[in-house]
Amino acid sequence: MKTANVGTIAFELALLAAIVALVDDTLLRVGLAVLPGMLLAQRATRGSSTGADAWSGNQDRRKDQEAREHVNRLLQRLREFHTTCHLMRSNQISADAAMERAAAIEQDLNRILADLTETARGGPAASERRQ
């Protein structure tokens, strides 16, 4: 970390400490403390953006189509679960039938997670291995 960054962070922390220690009015203290707090948070999330420390995350990206398929399957199963809950609550299906549906949905969600994990590692999806 550059010394200029360390100096800026030290100043912002000192400013934050002074605001908390010296301002008596709670609303004013919170209002004044938000600014250096936000600056510190921004600096913390920005991180290092140059040199060998820079990381774009492209190495960890899955193919868009694969990710979309997994998200679509996940959304479909969530909708089914939501519908099952509403049907059970309105007494249109029994609790046992709802439990069976929920168990099937849980198994499929586990398969989706396994597929997503495998494709993230670069291997074939579990559903592709079964075929």
Per residue in 47-78, pLDDT tens? 545 544 444 555 545 556 777 788 888 888 88
C-alpha to C-alpha distance for 15 and 35, rounded to whole angstroms: 10
Q: What is the pTM of this model?
A: 0.45
For 1-40, write each residue's pLDDT tens digit.
566 677 777 887 787 788 778 878 777 777 777 877 777 7
Angle formed at CA 19 by CA 16 and CA 21, multiple of 5 degrees:
105
